[in-house]
Chain A
Amino acid sequence: MDFWPWWMGACGLASVTIAHFLLTGRPLGVSGSVARVLDVRRSRRADALSDAIASDPAALEAQLLAATQEAFGDVDSGATTTAASDDPQGTSTAARATPFGQRFFGNVRWSARLTLLLSIGIGALLSRLVHPSPIEVQLSLGPSFTSLVGDGTIAWAVLLVGGVMVGVGTQMAAGCSSGHGLSGCGRLVPASLIGTAAFFSGAVMVSFLLERL
């Protein structure tokens, strides 16, 4: 099968990552999305919290103030009362609390991250429909995998164990090839540059080991 030249791949990956920033204001990160989809309850709580913060910063400030006073005592009550009463936009809070999209379309029952994951698969299907080579349903991952790893039970076992390594590794490193590799390295985040260097090193070492075995 023929693939895109490198520069088309580069432009494609960059466009997707930048579009994600532009449309959502957040970095694209697939391993994080998988974790959020798996842990629905914690994810809902986190989403509700971040929505509340985004839609009503004044209320957040008031709550932080209350929590601070609870922890450290009412040291500077003069300043805090001014801060609380000095809120000219306090009356418009209710109008601002309902975001535009929600007011007109309502919410969807499942997580938007699940939509992201599913549409990655659908996008791949589309790519094969516009491309002349038809989709071949086959057990193996291809001739290279079969000659390096094998087929049958061993191959299934290697993929299962390898998958667990990917799952645990991406959670431990808090990012994968999209979160650390594209979004993180693209923004020159030090931890992401280190994480990317680490997973490339691990992959290079194991790939050369596979050739030796």
Chain B
Amino acid sequence: MPSNTVIQHLALGAIGLAFGFVLSRAGFADFGEIHLMFTFADLRLLLAFAGAVVIIAAVYLALGRRWQEPRAVFTRGTIPGGLLFGAGWALTGACPSVVLVQLANGHLMALATLLGILLGTAIYPAINEKYLHISSGGCGL
């Protein structure tokens, strides 16, 4: 599908609405619920996440492995980047989509998280070019 047509905007707009709705009602934007998940005190969100992966995998296999591309490529950055992101997620209760839900739910402090995420995302290419030299692989994920 071409990148910037009205149809593309309508499709991604509908997906975004549903995604924000689900994240909010499932409790993924609630810091307390996230903390309970990561300390294994309440398995509800963990099961929601794992259950979603199982359903997606079942549909993916049932449809004959369509949508193979683009796929993430393992690089030197995968594990340290993941650890860093996880640590930030535990501190803020937010991943890049959840921070928007936190804000919409009236948590003004999430503005600091959003600013941080934008800052981190914007400076990463420069950090990578100067110190890390990790090829992105261009998978667009």
> Are A and B genuine complex partners?
yes
Which residues in A have some Cβ–Cβ distance to B below 8 Å? 1, 3-21, 23-36, 38-39, 46-48, 50-51, 54-55, 99-102, 105-108, 111-113, 115-128, 131, 135-145, 148-149, 155-192, 194-208, 210-211
A184 contacts which of B49, B54, B71, B109 (Cβ < 8 Å)? B71
Which residues in B have some Cβ–Cβ distance to A below 8 Å? 1-9, 11-33, 35, 38-40, 43-45, 47-57, 59-60, 65-68, 70-75, 77-110, 112-125, 127-128, 132, 134, 136-137, 139-141
Contact A199 B86 (CB under 8 A): yes
Q: Is the interface of B mostly helix, strand, loop or mixed?
A: helix
Tally A-B pairs: CB < 8 A.
518
Chain B residue with Cβ nearest A137: B106
A-B contact list, 30 entries, CB within 8 Å: A3-B27, A6-B51, A7-B47, A9-B44, A11-B52, A12-B21, A12-B52, A13-B52, A24-B1, A30-B95, A51-B2, A99-B5, A101-B2, A107-B5, A112-B4, A141-B110, A148-B35, A162-B94, A163-B94, A166-B116, A167-B118, A169-B82, A169-B83, A171-B120, A172-B77, A173-B79, A173-B85, A176-B96, A194-B78, A207-B38
B71 contacts which of A123, A172, A182, A187 (Cβ < 8 Å)? A187
Q: Which residues on B sit within 8 Å (CB–CB) of A127? A: 20-21, 24-25
**Residue among A51, A142, A203 facing the most chain B CB atoms (10 A cut-off):** A203
**A19-B18, A163-B119, A170-B85 given as contacts; is B140 within 8 A of A142 (CB)?**
no
Contact A166 B55 (CB under 8 A): no
Contact A163 B93 (CB under 8 A): no
**Residue among B2, B49, B100, B137 facing the most chain A CB atoms (10 A cut-off):** B2
The 6 nearest A-B residue pairs measured at CB: A163-B116, A167-B120, A202-B86, A123-B20, A198-B82, A10-B51
Q: Which residues on A sit within 8 Å (CB–CB) of B74? A: 190-191, 194
CA distance A181 to B3 in the complex (A): 24
Tell me the smallest distance from the CB of A191 to a CB of chain B, in Å: 4
Contact A163 B113 (CB under 8 A): yes
